[in-house]
Structure 1
Amino acid sequence: MSGFDDNPFADPFAEPSIQQATRSSTQNGLEEYDPFSSTPTNTTVGGTGNTTNYVQPTVGAPTQPAMVTPTPANPPSYTPSAQQQVSSAEFQRRQEELEKKAEELARKEEELKNAGTQGARQDNWPPLPSKFPVGPCFYQDINVDIPLEFQKIVRMLYYLWMFHALMLLLNILGGLSVFIAFNEGAVFGLSILYFFIFTPFSYICWFRPVYKAFRSDSSINFMVFFFVFSFQLIVSIISAIGIPSMGSCGWVTVGKAFNESKIGLGVFLALIACCSTFLALVMAYALLWVHRIYRSTGASFAKAQVEFSQGVMKNEHVQNVAANAATAAVRTQMTQSTTGATSPRF
């Protein structure tokens, strides 16, 4: 019966060995656990015939939230255009042009102020010396009188007139050469006459009208220019042809010189003929250019007629003549009325 001394209804946890094991495991677990330790601790969970190593989790510092650092994207490749590639020389040239225009505007304002304070502007063309017995006859300043968009064509026409005068002078030299070589004085004599007539008359009859036309937008001056300049163009074409009886050294005269085996004279006359041909071509181009501008400005023949009538009515001499005629007519009428009233009746 000794083997059955234990009470089967007794508390199994009341045995001293089980209570000691349970107490030691609980105390060791609580005593060895350190929540602030950075190294894990091994806790042995004891039991009857069984030991288990329990690794405590490491409690570290709180971690930062994950953030994505943006990487700067490279800018797209930029290729400057041809218009943006302005060199320093181009920039300097534009700067000089702006300064020149500013100086011209300042000078124009000064000229206008002086004209307003001093009255009529003093004539400055032709630029003759002060000791010359004849003074200037016209006032000419393209930078002051002509609008900026028309200065190029007016300046070109002025240079064309100067080249025309030079060609008349070369025609005199060609006529002298023909007179010496062929003993023909007609070309030489007419060339001198042409120089002294056409040089001043070309300036007065076609350059001054076109100058005043662009200065004041005058349709009647445009009409005068077209009429006279067309005649001048025809004369230049005839001069380039070189009919000997008309006093010009052209291609006909050149052929005659080469036929007579006068090579030097032929080369000189050919140079004059080339210049005359070039002059005729430039005149034709200038005539078309001015006509294009004339059509774009809204000018017309009707406007020219209105300007002519207004100019005639505003002319002081015409007004004086009309006033004198009206006064004479009134006096005649009054005289006739007085005579009729005092005459005896029969």
Structure 2
Amino acid sequence: MDFRCFPTLGLEVPEGGAVFTGQNAQGKTSVLEAVCVLVRLHSPRSSRMQTLARIGGSGGFGIAGEAWGMERRIDWRPRQATRHSVEGESRASQGGYLEDGGLLVWMGNDDLDLVRAGGESRRRYLDFMGSQVAADYRRSLARYRRALKAKNLLLKEGDRRRAEIASYEAILIPAAAVLRRVRAELSERLADAVADRQREIAGREELAGIRYEAAGGMEMGLALEQVREKEFRQRRSLVGPHRDELELTLNGLPAAAYASEGQQRTLALALKLAQGGVLRAQTGQEPVWLIDDVFGELDVSRRNALMRALPASAQKWITTTHLDWLEEAPELTGLARFAVEGGHICR
């Protein structure tokens, strides 16, 4: 394995899911992260695969597991192509590996950044959804990021690289069209679900709103023409999906500026619960819920509301530093329990 702090690890988790308990920095979150990497080839904690390999290990890592009735495996090694296989058969591309994979929702304490932080966290929220529901989204996102990086490097050299910049914009425009189409559709589906979950968790009438705003407008080709000279002067890209925003409001006011901490935390929970509902509605498949140290940090009313809102039929992997709250959670008391300490796990 050699993943994070685990040289090896074998787990059998029941269909309903499991609770992993232990102090901080013992490996609880890494278990959930390994599931996320195996299923979606994505870590919610790092954008660089090399940071996932165990320090002092082989330099790479491997994860395998049975998910949705199929044996899945990935092997990552530095300076080598990642190997993906399903049922022992190699999949040549990430897209091929993901096409029959499952769905995930990740919840963690840093979800508060969805409300408080800048637009990057909300774009990642939409990207994680889009990559799961639209086959061409992940591919378009990768193409867009590569072309944008190249364009920005050329802009640093000034307008003498216009022809080369135009060639990269020819890649950016169709990729942006895919990203924005899916983002806009998801945002529309999320709007009612987020509003419903906000009222449900808050226990009172709080009107949550979301609105997707494409930086420069939905027609990127036109937007590029309008800002071209300004981009050359500032030597950076000014329009495109990398600057899009998902605006969050509460009772008509910007949530980041005017909502209380409790309201912001509720809105973050509502966004993740709505994400799970939209994934299920879009695909007909129930996501697995990876819930990292959330329940123990919530007050009683929000914790109880969250437990009621989670789909009873969904598999849930939960981490926590203590189990006191679990005794008050009949919806979750039937889950298997594992203790985690120093990279070792026992049931």
TM-score of the aligned structures, taking structure 1 as reference length: 0.25
Higher helix share: 1
Higher strand share: 2
Which fold has the larger relative contact order, with Cα–Cα distance below 8 Å and residues 6 or more apart in sequence? Answer: 2
TM-score of the aligned structures, taking structure 2 as reference length: 0.25
